[in-house]
């Protein structure tokens, strides 16, 4: 399979202590890391400025090295030798040179194309990053709809404490690309989120249409984060101070 353009939406629904919901349109890329060069075209450049771009320094080691090398080293370190096939990265591209990815997903397959591990690479607006590595304890393939859990250890929003756990579910079939993250504490669900869309082969023409319909998407992602924060503050949702980030870049 080749690189894909996925056009769809982001949804957030806060349940407690006040309700707050929003949905907005986005597009993102699904890139096979072993064949990144095949994704480049007149609209999308690798490691240089264009209307749309993908830069190695935005992911993985963040030092400009190839993200696949970082992913392979991480999988080896975590003894996930079964994930020895393609690694697909789902992420927003740079738009006019700027990007902010609240979360990117790395789907790590075996040689038969079955997903064996998923890495959720989470960024906050303080310039910090943490990765949650998701896999079944017996390393069996991750099927659509399987629930994977991770304890929350990384500060994302000042309106939530660093406590509780995430529940992840994914779909990657029939051109549907979906990631759902539900955040819970001891009292039950707090926040329901998802990013989903329909995938198409990535071409310059399709990227041009996506750019025309979302010309400031990356800037809009950051603007919406702050706008929703202002709405929660106006509703008097309690604030939590920011703790120090985890000492390890990865948890599982």
Burial status of residue 146 (CB atoms within 10 A of its CB: 0-12, 13-18, 19 or more): middle
Q: Does pLDDT of 126 surpass 80?
A: yes
pLDDT tens digits, one per residue of 219-252: 999 999 999 999 999 999 999 999 999 999 999 9
Residue 250 lies in a domain: no
Residues in the chain, overall count: 252
Q: How sure is the predictor about 173, in pLDDT bands with cuts at 50, 70 and 90? A: confident
* Residue 252 belongs to some domain of the structure: no
Express each pLDDT in 33-66 by its tens digit: 999 999 999 999 999 999 999 999 999 999 999 9
Query: Residue 127: its pLDDT value, please?
Result: 95
Who's near 16: CB < 8 A, 6+ residues apart? 187, 190
- Residue 242 near residue 34, CB atoms below 8 Å: no
Residue 248 lies in a domain: no
Residue 139 lies in a domain: yes
CA distance 233 to 247: 30
Domain range spanning residue 50?
Answer: 4-238
pLDDT at 24: 97
- What integer best gives the mean pLDDT of the chain? 96
- pTM for this model (two decimals): 0.96
Residue 243 is assigned to a structural domain of this protein: no
**Residue 75 confidence (pLDDT) above 90:** yes
Residue 1 pLDDT > 80, yes or no? no
Q: How many domains does the chain have?
A: 1
What region, left, alpha or beta, does residue 169 occupy, with left being phi > 0 and alpha being psi -120 to 50 degrees? beta
Per-residue pLDDT averaged across 181-195, rounded? 97
- State how far the Cα of 134 lies from the Cα of 127, in Å rounded to an integer: 23
Structure tokens at 42: 């007149």
- Cis geometry, peptide bond prior to residue 101 (ω within 30 degrees of 0): no
Strand order in the sheet with 52-54: 44-46, 52-54, 94-95
Dihedral over Cα of 48, 43, 226, 170: its sign: negative
Average pLDDT over residues 100-126: 97
pLDDT tops 90 at residue 142: yes
| Domain annotation covers residue 244 | no
pLDDT recorded at residue 207: 98
Average pLDDT (27-34) is 98
Query: What distance in Å separates the CA atoms of residue 232 and residue 163, rounded to the nearest whole number?
Result: 19
Assess whether pLDDT exceeds 90 at residue 165: yes
pLDDT score, position 174: 82
CB atoms within 10 A of CB 61: 16
């Amino acid at each position: 399979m080749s690189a894909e353009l996925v056009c769809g939406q982001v949804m957030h629904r806060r349940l407690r202590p006040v309700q707050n919901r929003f949905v907005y349109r986005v597009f993102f890329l699904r890139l096979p890391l072993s064949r990144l060069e095949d994704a480049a075209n007149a609209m999308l450049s690798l490691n240089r400025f264009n209307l749309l771009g993908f830069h190695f320094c935005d992911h993985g080691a963040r030092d400009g090295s190839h993200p696949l090398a970082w992913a392979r080293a991480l999988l080896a370190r975590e003894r996930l030798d079964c994930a020895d096939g393609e690694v697909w990265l789902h992420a927003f591209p740079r738009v006019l040179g700027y990007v902010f990815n609240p979360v990117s997903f790395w789907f790590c397959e075996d040689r038969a194309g079955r997903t064996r591990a998923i890495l959720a690479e989470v960024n906050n607006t303080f310039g910090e990053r943490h990765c949650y590595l998701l896999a079944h304890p017996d390393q069996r393939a991750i099927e659509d709809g399987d629930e994977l859990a991770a304890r929350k250890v990384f500060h994302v929003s000042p309106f939530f404490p660093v406590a509780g756990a995430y529940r992840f579910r994914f779909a990657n079939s029939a051109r549907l690309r979906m990631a759902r993250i539900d955040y819970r504490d001891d009292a039950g669900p707090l926040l329901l989120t998802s990013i989903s869309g329909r995938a198409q082969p990535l071409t310059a023409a399709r990227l041009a249409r996506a750019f025309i319909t979302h010309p400031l998407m990356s800037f809009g992602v950051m603007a919406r984060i702050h706008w929703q924060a202002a709405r929660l503050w106006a509703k008097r949702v309690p604030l939590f101070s920011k703790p120090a980030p985890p000492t390890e870049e990865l948890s599982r």
